[in-house]
Structure 1
Amino acid sequence: MQIALAPMEGLVDEILRDVLTRVGGIDWCVTEFIRVTERVLPASTYQKLAPELFSAARTAAGTPLRVQFLGSDPQCLADNAAFAATLGAPVVDLNFGCPAKTVNKSRGGAVLLKEPELLHAIVREVRRTLPGQIPLTAKMRLGFDNKDQALECALALAEGGAAQIVVHARTKVEGYKPPAHWEWVARVQEAVAVPVFANGEVWTLDDWRRCREVSGVDNIMLGRGLVARPDLARQIAAARAGQIVSPMEWAELRPLLGEFWLQARRKMSPRYAPGRLKQWLAMLLRSYPQAAELFNLLRRENDCSRIDALLGVEVPERVLLERLAVA
């Protein structure tokens, strides 16, 4: 069994990947999608979106990183994937699941599920261009507005050369509304000869047990559930091994919030760093009632120094100097 951290644009950047993989249980993670349109992107794009590539393609905790691309031009995607391989990408992933309207309008993400032939052409060309030792994987939804072509799309990916397929068990139109249709993951796994990962609506250990029972697959990709419960992967890994681990308490999580904030302070301008902290804290409310008090204190606070004090962290002078240098 493998447990993966999902690529979530605008949420799971290198900071959150670092913090979550420190908790444990995650076998690999994926970058936010790198959008490809008409040219080979420069190395600076990867320094921004996939800085782990320059540290052996692993997070600080040692969790391997995959690079994900989004686009519709087979040759352009292939050329960018080949360049990413020269930078050290150990695995390339293709996004056919993003439901964002702006992405779909520009012919990217889930809208391509309307064109199984194009899916196959993209995967085939990327697979042909990548060095043989670099695996190619893909993520899909069950369709755009219905599930009629779900199996056809999955077969197009597998036959094109995808070594693994992650299935977000909803259509684009269904978005993130429950339920996730785990029974369709079972149908996809029956149709293709490559490993399939279930994704969608796994928030707790019991959700994972039900997902495994219904989908029939062991492999799982965790998204919002892992962001809201940072030790969910660790709990699942232990349960799979017949062990029990104590759930992470709020007191154990607080230092991770502080570390997240320090990294946000280093990476982002003072204008944007508070928003990133509030974004994660708001998601933690689902699993940690204790987060409410801190969230209410921070909700309208945008002064970084006051946030330092509320979190009880001391920002090293070097972090402040690095922030000034970036600004």
Structure 2
Amino acid sequence: MRPLIAHQSRGALRHNLSRFPKPSWAVVKADGYGMGALEVARSLDQAPGFAVASVGEAMVLREGGISAPILALEGPFDLEDCRDAAAYQLDLVIHDLAQLDWLEALDRRQWSGLWIKLDTGMHRLGMSETAARETARRIEALSVGRKVWMSHYGRADEVELALPALASPPPGWSISLANSAASLGHALPANIGRAGIALYGASPISGDLGLNVVQRLTSQVVAVRHVPAGEGVGYGARWVAPRDSVIATIPGGYADGYPRAMPDGAPVSVAGVICPLAGRVSMDRMTVDVTLAGDAVKRGAPVELWGREVPIETLASLANTIPYELFCNVAPRVARIWS
């Protein structure tokens, strides 16, 4: 078996959800940030609900036995999505009047939940406050179990700019203000939180949030080479040995989700010692300078690419990306082992 494995912890997921103000729904879109949406949802029986991107993602959870409320954050894309949402008892975000037109065109008048999305500055999806209040008025003609006034912060450190409209929903409506950064970084009015990246153990803001690592991406040394000073390593010989060096070859490359953009010197834990990446990441493997690790590094030595010893936030910064992308890009060929 190829030794590149994503070890994933159910206990860490549960702990991280407990760090959020209650109630907070667990966001499991993009196949649970690449970790497996169904497994994540099954691990979080304490979650009051789940949020995904699309009706199609929600249907996968329902068919997998998840009975808790499920919200499609992008709302319906067409009339067929509305029919499926009704059949699978899904909550829908309404960010455009056309979506409400589709709902009203159906014979069905009863809906599990409808969430009106306001645009508070991201300018991707969402309505003006005036349009949102008109939409709420029309929704009152339907039978809706859960009515929620919501938005999504583009700058979670400036949430107060959006509070006046959001904190004044129509009578009888709940509010949902906060993603991970806003939920954990601010004292907000009582609302339905949305536990996203922090649920998976990565911090969206500076400071210690008390999160546990959910995913450890591990591998093993499969070869050790002695490279003379002045010799290059890897494609294009980007890294040149500054002295006689010991180079370990490790399964794990850009086809597995480890970024090709990762620079020389990026930290890799080899046999418990932090060692620098040496040379370009290739499709299936990488090379690491283990000279200073001494005799501990032999074939079969354990490696952590990210997790407890190598924070994923550190690697994301070095690769000029974000932890979300690293999690989501872990390839299907990488084995996932839950514990």
TM-score by length of 2: 0.47
**Bigger Rg over Cα:** 2
Q: Which has the higher strand share?
A: 2
Greater length-normalized contact order (CA 8 Å, ≥ 6 residues apart): 2
Q: Which has the higher helix share?
A: 1
TM-score by length of 1: 0.48
